[in-house]
Amino acid sequence: MPPTILVFSVFLDFLQEGIEKIKDPRSESNGTKFKISDAMLSAFSMFFMQCQSFLEYQRQLQSRSGKNNVQSIFGVEKIPSDQQIRNILDLISAKSLNAVFEKVYKFLQMGKHLKRYERLDRNLLICLDGTEYHSSSKISCECCSTRNHRSGKITYSHTAILPVIAAPGCEQVISLPPEFVTPQDGHEKQDCETAAAKRWISKHGHLFEGQAITLLGDDLYSRQPMCQNCLEANMNFIFTCLPSSHPSLYQWLDYIEKNGEVQNLTTKHRKKSIEIYSYRFVNQIPLREQEPSLLVNWCELTVRNSVDNSEVYRNAFVTNHAVNIDNVAVVVETGRCRWKTENENHNVLKTKGYNLEHNFGHGQKHLSSTLLSLNLLAFLFHTILHLIDSSYQEIRRKRGTRRGFFQDILSLTKYFLFKSWQHLIDFMLDEAPVFADSC
How buried is residue 326: exposed, middle or buried, by Cβ count under 10 Å (0-12/13-18/19+)? exposed
Neighbouring C-alpha atoms within 13 Å toward the C-beta of 185: 0
* Model pLDDT, residue 32: 67
For the stretch 144-179, pLDDT in tens is: 888 888 888 999 989 999 999 999 999 899 999 999
The Cα 143–Cα 365 span in angstroms is 7
The Cα 409–Cα 396 span in angstroms is 11
The Cα 203–Cα 179 span in angstroms is 9
Distances (CA, A) of 282 to 1, 33, 317: 44, 64, 11
CA–chain centroid gap for 34, Å, is 30
* Model pLDDT, residue 359: 83
Between β-strands 236-240 and 213-217, what pairing exists: parallel, antiparallel or unpaired?
parallel
Task: Say if residues 15 and 44 touch (Cβ distance below 8 Å).
Answer: yes
Task: Say if residues 7 and 1 touch (Cβ distance below 8 Å).
Answer: yes
The Cα 65–Cα 439 span in angstroms is 5
- CB-based contacts of 231, cutoff 8 Å, min separation 6: 237, 320
CA 6, 7, 11, 14 dihedral sign is: positive
* Model pLDDT, residue 188: 59
- CB-based contacts of 5, cutoff 8 Å, min separation 6: 389
Neighbouring C-alpha atoms within 13 Å toward the C-beta of 128: 31
* Model pLDDT, residue 4: 44
Helix axis angle, 390-399 relative to 421-428, nearest 10°?
Answer: 40
Which among 384, 371, 350, 409 has a CA at the least distance from the CA of 47?
Answer: 371
Confidence (pTM): 0.92
Task: Say if residues 83 and 360 touch (Cβ distance below 8 Å).
Answer: no
Which among 169, 216, 197, 166 has a CA at the least distance from the CA of 383?
Answer: 166
Query: What phi and psi values does residue 309 have, to the nearest 5 degrees?
Result: 65, 20
Query: Is-cis flag, bond preceding 177, omega within 30?
Result: no
* Model pLDDT, residue 145: 87
Distances (CA, A) of 101 to 63, 80, 297, 353, 411: 35, 25, 33, 21, 29
For the stretch 372-430, pLDDT in tens is: 999 999 999 999 999 999 999 999 999 888 899 999 999 999 999 999 999 999 999 98
In the predicted model, residues of the chain with pLDDT beneath 50 are 1-4, 432-433
Q: Give the domain ranges of the chain.
A: 1-113+358-439, 240-324
Task: Say if residues 343 and 128 touch (Cβ distance below 8 Å).
Answer: no
The Cα 401–Cα 288 span in angstroms is 48
